[in-house]
Chains A and B, each alone.
Chain A
């Protein structure tokens, strides 16, 4: 603790340091303890959840809840649906965003400013929930998996960040490819996209987390319970009207409380698994996003 360049000799300063560490460690604990408890509880028996006040390791590890959940058609279908929609949706969103960002990065392109302004306007003002719902309905997308992807296909903020990134790429490579007879499309596919791998990874993660976590789209557009996503299941099992939803599931004999904990764990784990990558890239994204053109 003595490498700091700052003056920290005084007693007050040392007392502050100690208090500061206690406070921040406390904050970190408040953040993660609920998650660790839910994880532990998901492996505990019903009676342990009911009787023990707080624990980070169950007395007896029970996996029955998970076995039950993964044996439930509703749940497995929702898990597969969510994985599929997230995978396809991410590809669609990334393709659309990057394809549109590239021409917008060309300052000499006539009409570029108009398109950019049209995009930015949608950040400030939108048609809102009902008119958008009606458009999705008129397109026949209600109860279609595409309703979870297409209405959110391009995030205008991400589009502008990717556009700024393209503007900063060295132009020499693109020009060399053009002299070699590459069309603009060829330059994009063969030169620009390979150079953009890190930022493609970043925005794939951005979009994937967005779809995985989305609750509003299925709430609005999906009625058919065979097309539910994981977030809807989580809501159905743990929300205010949980008992109602539970009675609709395939069986009657199951560990109710443990199941709630386990479902939360399953919906959270993929995010935590990707978290190290997320943290690295997202932080960068936030900072790029804060730089004005």
Chain B
């Protein structure tokens, strides 16, 4: 097809000779097709990723859509002052961190434990079947997970709610509506949805362990427990560290869809986190500038967290991410 488009280059490989730098003009000409292929993607990143970053300036304005980015009044750090001195900040930070810590406490070790248990299963058919089943929830949307929760825990006909009621007795509890049950339910949902899938990365690390190591340990008289302690566990330690850095870098990133879908008027005192608050203030109330300021604070704090965790990991003698 493309024979009329360009004369074939003299050499088969389009790479320049070693050590030779092309002038921008020559480079543009020689690699014009490659650059052309970059254009749609670059346009995407420019419009949907970098243009919004310019939009962050409205955090320092009283943004009025009609006046636009240029015409709205600049107000300096007013919205940040409002955030830090107002009643929202403590509640948002508290809710976000409590949920994050609870989730990390339960959902971080769960896949490690399950992967280690799966690794000890000797029946391969059983192992594969169990894996296939526990991966399923990862592919279901948060809307489905939320709906399952509402259906199973509903006061009127919820199977699980009735089952608990049958055992514990007393008054019927509306689990999905009450503030007290919000956090446990979020943690349970996360465990149900992500534990199985989370095992993959650890199982891959475990599959990479050289069987010779187990053999050597056995010859040295190590029982199953000591093989586990001295061979299996050290094998997945680097993976655990990398996953720990990744997780702690995202402490402030709540799962927006999950939390939004479980929020109602009765549990907002514990359910409001930075991400859902930004939606509530910005989209439903039109407080664009204040919401953007909240989002910007969270974004900057998130970047600092990622770099901080990476630095800490390196200080502790582990390989960081970058």
Contact = CB atoms under 8 A, between A and B. Distances in A.
A69 to B, nearest CB: 14
The secondary structure that dominates the B interface is: helix
A133 B281 CA distance: 13
A148 B145 CA distance: 21
B148 A34 contact: yes
Contacts of A17: 120, 122
Contacts of B133: 28, 31-32
A99 B33 CA distance: 11
B52 A132 contact: yes
Contact of B152 (A7, A34, A109, A267): A34
Given A6-B214, A184-B33, A35 B136 contact: yes
A26 to B, nearest CB: 10
B33 A128 contact: no
A27 B134 contact: yes
B146 interface: yes
B66 interface: no
Contacts of B132: 279
Nearest to B193: A31
A261 interface: yes
B122 A126 contact: no
Contact of A186 (B2, B50, B166): B2
B151 A238 contact: yes
Contact of A24 (B37, B54, B121): B121
Contact of A122 (B38, B49, B126, B192): B49
Given A178-B8, A215-B257, A231 B141 contact: yes
A96 B44 CA distance: 9
B275 to A, nearest CB: 8
A161 interface: no
B139 A278 contact: yes
Interface string B288-316: 10011001101100110010000000000
A290 B205 CA distance: 11
Contact of B159 (A16, A53, A122): A53
Interface string B31-42: 101111110111
Nearest to B221: A7
Contacts of A165: none
A185 interface: yes
B1 A108 contact: no
Interface residues of B, number: 109
Nearest to B152: A34
B163 A215 contact: no
A247 to B, nearest CB: 18
Contact of B42 (A115, A134, A260): A115
Contacts of B65: 134, 137
Contacts of B134: 27-28, 31
Interface in A133-192: 133-135, 137, 139, 150-151, 153-154, 159, 171, 175-176, 178-186, 188, 190
Nearest to A1: B122
Given A135-B55, A235-B261, A24 B130 contact: yes
B176 interface: yes
Contacts of B123: 1, 21
Given A186-B2, A264-B148, A24 B117 contact: yes
A220 B48 CA distance: 15
Interface stretch (A60-68, A194-202, A268-276): A268-276
Contact of B130 (A27, A54, A215, A238): A27
Interface string B1-33: 111011011001111100000101001000101
Contacts of B84: none
Interface residues of A, number: 114
Given A6-B227, A129-B282, A220-B283, A238 B214 contact: no
B55 A100 contact: no
B295 A128 contact: yes
Contact of B12 (A154, A175, A231, A242): A175
Contacts of A175: 12-13
Contact of B38 (A31, A100, A132): A100
A184 B159 contact: no
B214 A5 contact: yes
B141 to A, nearest CB: 3
A252 interface: no
A219 B49 CA distance: 19
A207 interface: no
Which 9 pairs between the two chains have the least Cβ-Cβ distance? Answer: A127-B52, A100-B41, A131-B55, A213-B141, A184-B33, A128-B295, A131-B52, A238-B147, A183-B2
Interface of B: 1-3, 5-6, 8-9, 12-16, 22, 24, 27, 31, 33-38, 40-42, 44-45, 47-56, 58, 65, 114, 117-118, 120-123, 126, 129-130, 132-137, 139-144, 146-148, 150-152, 156-157, 159, 162-163, 166, 176-177, 192, 195-196, 200-201, 204, 211, 214-215, 218, 223-224, 227, 256-257, 260-261, 263-264, 275, 278-279, 282-283, 288, 291-292, 295-296, 298-299, 302-303, 306
20 contacts: A6-B227, A13-B223, A20-B117, A31-B133, A103-B37, A108-B16, A125-B53, A127-B49, A128-B292, A129-B283, A130-B55, A130-B291, A131-B55, A137-B65, A154-B44, A183-B5, A184-B34, A216-B257, A219-B260, A287-B204
